[in-house]
Structure 1
Amino acid sequence: MLKKLSVAVAAALLASCAVPTSQDKTAGSAEDQYQTSASDAPIQDKAATAQQVANALLRHNSPLEPDAELAQYDNLWQRIADQMTLTVPDNDDIESQKQFFIRNQKLLKTASDNAEPFLYHIVTELERRKMPLELALLPIVESTYNPKAGSFSGVLGIWQFTQGTGRNFGLKQNAWYDGRRDVIESSRAAMDYLQYLYSNVDQDWLSAVAAFNAGEGRVFKAIERNRSKGKPTDFWSLNLPKQNTSYIPKLLALAELLKHPEKYAIPMPMLANQPQTKVIQINRGLDLVKAADLLNLRVAELRRLNPGFKTTTVPSASYPLVVPFRSADDIDQQIAALPKVKVAPVASTGRYQVKSGDSLSKIAAAHKTSVKALQRANNLNSSQLKIGQLLTIPGLEQPDEPVVTARTAKKSNTLASEGQTYTVKSGDSLWEIGKKLNVSTEQLSNWNKLGTTAQLKPGQKLTYYSESKPQTTAAAKSMTYKVRPGDSLASIAQRFKVKVADIVKWNNIKTNMYLQPGQELTLYLTS
């Protein structure tokens, strides 16, 4: 039987940990009620307790003041390396994983670039909670810090949360937003979950990480089996599947390489030891297009910082919004002053478990919604269902019609200037260069025929194009168009009398990209 988290353990956990964020979570809201699936069964008996622990952690602790010594580091990765404490034993599996990462150093560069806007926040929270800094490497193993990473099993985000576990630890999931892809929120939830697991696996961080990856039930049972036989219960003594016996070596291999880069002739990634972003709370409907304009950002960049949002219009609710650290101190007040956005409500009618003979069209008809609304609410890329699968049922929508918002914007059909050249400096990344030049990473990649993970070399020449100031004489009405089956950029441009090049520019997409039914495009139509 799975052991329950005792009051004593919970108290000890609270006494030893500091708060991750200032956001308080309230368990048991109507939005977060759900039916636990078979795949989430190991946590079912503990769900309420786990949420109570997470809530208590947030309520009863206060943030620590920044450590002056930690602020002296130039490189954030070095700050992590110098504080790592987990023992790395001599182990063939660990050695094998080290050799893998040495051969595939581009993975580390990709992960560092993906992590740049968020890593300072994650490191600071781990330090506040007095958790091992090796855990900052866990998203490299899980997803290379890609918030859009997912799998056929339904896990999402840099921490690869399932729907059920995400909801247990306060991650909202609805038709507009998925907290599993929100890097800040999912990191808070991941740390809560890891602390919860740590308190239930004899305070062994490696066993806690193994349970995070494979499910707590499997690890708890392995510990109980060893205990009943009088065997040690540390991670290395447990009988676990091969998946776990390679997962932990990956983490420890990364830790060893980061600790001793000179020993393995592998360059340490470089990230400035300073915050890149900050989080503000919004409690209203929000148009991300207008918010991006206010922040002097491209919409694509704001969405990169806020991957939890599924659309550019967010209904009236409470959500965290990640903005560049350089944003004005009163940016939350400026955003609050933007015109309110009215979004057709999508009221959740609960959860539905798929039965034999079900199809999306049958389920949609029974719940008075649409197939596309079901797909969007559940992140489904196809119509295939599995018996026992849980679906979130959204309210009635008309997804085939363009969603036009009553907002006006200055037409953004700007004219590109002549190409200019940027010379790469030591330590530069596409993300950093894009910020300097006020262009997106994707644009830099396209203009120079590079992958977004391309290795840059000092002295390398990059071509970029700046835009002339927007034409202010022609007012345009902005609208969001949902792509239908059979649509192409050309057919959409012809229908709305705009240019393909403008659609590409407004939405920061590639001309050879296949459009997906349900995909949303922002268009600007001359009044």
Structure 2
Amino acid sequence: MLAPPALASPADGATRNGREIYQQFRDGLSDPECGPEVSQRWRKHFAAAPKRLAAADENTLALFGYVVDALHASSLPTEYALIPFVESGYKPDARSPLGPAGLWQMIKRTARDHEVPIRKGYDGRLSPVDSTRAAVRYLKTLHGMFAGDWRLAAMAYNAGEYRILGALKRSGQVARDARPAELPGLSGITHAYVRKLHALACVLEQAEEREQWLQALDRPVPRLRAVTVATDVDRVEEWASSHGQDPARLRRLNPVFADGRIDHGDAPVSLLALVPAEGPDTAPAAGTGAASAAGSD
């Protein structure tokens, strides 16, 4: 087995080893146990997830690392980093015919309730920065509301907190010692949500046993950060040119700017970009006015 890489702090450069991201994910799991009770159905369903995560020609691992970092900064379990896998396959441009959109597959009402900007020309659900910031903030609230039980919080993310609070009350349970699988009056989809996340965590956890997969992770992966775009910059290509980044890649990371146009509206606009080789605190090029911003609150 490959020796684990030395862990670096988030400010240690433009890239990090993919196995460092994986290790941070594993270290942050609230429920790392993978016994026979884990759903075999959902294990099979997500069997391709390790391959997708390790694919060198996609942004999945970099986005996964961005979400894991945001959860770590908020002291939340990394099971929550699997929600975009379940919801969108970690595709920031994912859209459902039923209305949800983005990494976290938010409906418009949920997005607006959690301060994701949506206006003509700008759908913040398609911004990994806006949607991840809102999702992590919401998960932080749910995590506290349900006594730090990630299973209850995940169910609440899927069904709404009031349904879970009602189910706890009807069953005579309290969050601190609840039995989520026994909560009454909830849909099969909500109960399956926890089984999906746990099975997916176990698929990734036990992928460590596959040497070839670990070797595929053992490569430099770009660090991502949110930057605030100055109001005088109205094209992704313009920002990319000033910062030495690939505009096509930035558009893939930020499908909210799919046509390359940056609509500033009435509030600051954030772009998910690669950390520059000089380090995350490098000053922006003259005339762009871009400033570093946190990836999550």
Q: TM-score, normalised on structure 2?
A: 0.76
Q: 313-322 vs 141-150, which deviates more? A: 313-322
User: Per the alignment, do residues 181 and 111 of structure 1 end up closer, same or farther by CA in structure 2, a change over 3 Å counting?
Assistant: farther
Does structure 2 conserve the Cα–Cα contact (< 8 Å) formed by 1:281 and 1:319? Answer: yes
Distance 1:254 1:104, change over 3 A: closer
Q: Name the aligned partner's letter for residue 304 of structure 1.
A: R
Aligned position for 2:252: 304
**1:117 CA drift (Å):** 3.3
Q: Confirm or deny that 1:326 pairs with 2:280.
A: no
Instruction: Give the C-alpha shift of residue 273 in structure 1.
Output: 6.8
Query: Among 259, 278, 289, which residue is 2:237 paired with?
Result: 289
- Residue identity matched to 1:260: Q
> In the alignment, what sits opposite 1:140?
85
Deviation at 1:93, TM superposition (A): 5.7
Length, aligned pairs only: 269
Distance in 1, Cα, partners of 2:111 & 2:208: 39
Deviations 1:165-198 (A, max 9, x none): 2122221111222221111221111111111122
Query: Contact conserved, 1:77 with 1:271, CA < 8 A, in 2?
Result: no
Alignment TM-score, normalising by the size of structure 1: 0.45
Supply the AA of the counterpart residue of 2:273. Answer: V
Deviation (angstroms), 1:225: 0.9
Distance 1:333 1:67 in 2: 23
Residue 217 of structure 2 aligns with which residue? 270
1:260-295 CA distance string (max 9 Å, x none): 225578834616576523322124141223223334
The answer as to 2:203 corresponding to 1:257 is yes
Deviations 1:73-94 (A, max 9, x none): 8531133123323154645562
Q: Return the alpha-carbon distance in structure 2 between the equivalents of residues 254 and 187 of structure 1.
A: 20
Larger radius of gyration: 1
- What is the identity percentage for the equivalent residue pairs of Structure 1 and Structure 2? 27
Q: Is the 8 A contact 1:198 1:208 kept in 2?
A: yes
Preserved CA contact (<8 Å) 2:21 2:65: yes
CA separation of 1:306/1:85 partners in 2, compared to 1, >3 Å: closer, same or farther? same
Bigger fraction of residues in helix: 2
What CA distance in whole angstroms lies between the structure 2 residues aligned with 1:129 and 1:316?
28
Name 1:517's counterpart in structure 2. Answer: none
Q: How does 1:16-415 map to 2 (within 5 A)?
A: 74-86=19-31, 88=33, 90=35, 92=37, 94-102=39-47, 106-109=51-54, 113-227=58-172, 233-239=178-184, 240-263=186-209, 267-268=213-214, 270=217, 272=219, 275-285=222-232, 286-317=234-265, 318-326=268-276, 329-331=282-284, 333-336=286-289
Residue type of the partner of 1:323?
A: A
Which amino acid is the alignment partner of residue 282 of structure 1?
V
Query: In 2, distance between residues paired with 1:262 and 1:140?
Result: 18
Inter-CA distance 241–259: structure 2 relative to 1 (3 Å threshold): same
Return the alpha-carbon distance in structure 2 between the equivalents of residues 131 and 270 of structure 1. 24
Per-residue CA distance 1:59-118 (angstroms, 9 max, x = gap):
xxxxxx7599xx898531133123323154645562222233336765555699332333
Tell me the SS of whatever aligns to 1:322.
strand
DSSP-derived class of the 2:239 partner: helix
Q: 1:305 to 1:237 in 2, by over 3 A?
A: same
Q: Can you list the C-alpha shifts for 1:232-265, whole angstroms capped at 9, x where unaligned?
A: 6331221332112222112111211222225578
Flag as ranges the 4+ runs of structure 1 deviating above 6 A: none
Alignment-mate amino acid for residue 261 of structure 1: A
Shift of the 185–111 alpha-carbon distance from structure 1 to 2, 3 Å rule, reads farther
Change (3 A) 1:72 1:284: closer
* Matched letter for residue 168 of structure 2: I
- Structure 1 residues 331-381: Cα deviation after superposition (integer angstroms, max 9, x where no partner): 2644239xxxxxxxxxxxxxxxxxxxxxxxxxxxxxxxxxxxxxxxxxxxx
- Please provide the CA RMSD for this pair: 3.3
Gaps of 5+ in 2: 1-8, 291-297
